[in-house]
Amino acid sequence: MFSIAVIDGQGGGIGSLIVKRLKEEFGERVDVIALGTNAAATTAMMKSRANKGATGENAIIWNSGRVDMITGPLSITFPNAMLGEVTAAMASAIVHSPAKKLLLPLNQEGIDIAGITREPLPHLIEHLISGIKESTNV
């Protein structure tokens, strides 16, 4: 089964929206793994019907190398992002994972990406779902 890790921190609001849309779109054809930098983020994503969930640095490092795809906000690749919740080891594991990465270009860390137009979060999540459909046979 195709496995997608949704990684988020702080309150898990972005991750929970991603999980919700993944489950609406793909149902049980995908295994959604909620990986939170903290328990609140993991809990929020589990409430949105993720198949499994785990919390913390070791869970993110270990699972990053075991999934087919990683998604979440772009800031999960920046050490010390999310008010310091993303450790350098987490960011490195995500970036170096062989999994395909589809990340949301949100400007939470004061980093703008040239060529990206600002869109509301629901639109970005729909782009994410489209990207998953294009990248997989799910």
Which structural domain, as residue segments, surrounds residue 10? 2-135
Q: Is 80 exceeded by the pLDDT of residue 108?
A: no
d(Cα 133, Cα 57) in Å, to the nearest integer?
A: 29
* Mean pLDDT score, 107-111: 73
Question: pLDDT tens-digit profile of 40-83?
Answer: 999 999 999 999 999 999 999 999 999 999 999 999 999 999 99
Do residues 9 and 108 make contact, with C-beta atoms less than 8 angstroms apart? Answer: no
Tally of domains within the chain? 1
b/e map of 36-49 (b: 16 or more CB within 10 Å)?
A: bbbebbbbbbbebb
- CA atoms within a 13 Å half-sphere pointing along the CA-CB vector of 27: 2
CATH of residue 86:
3.40.50.720
Q: How confident is the model at residue 113 (pLDDT cuts 50, 70, 90)?
A: confident
Q: Say what the pTM is.
A: 0.95
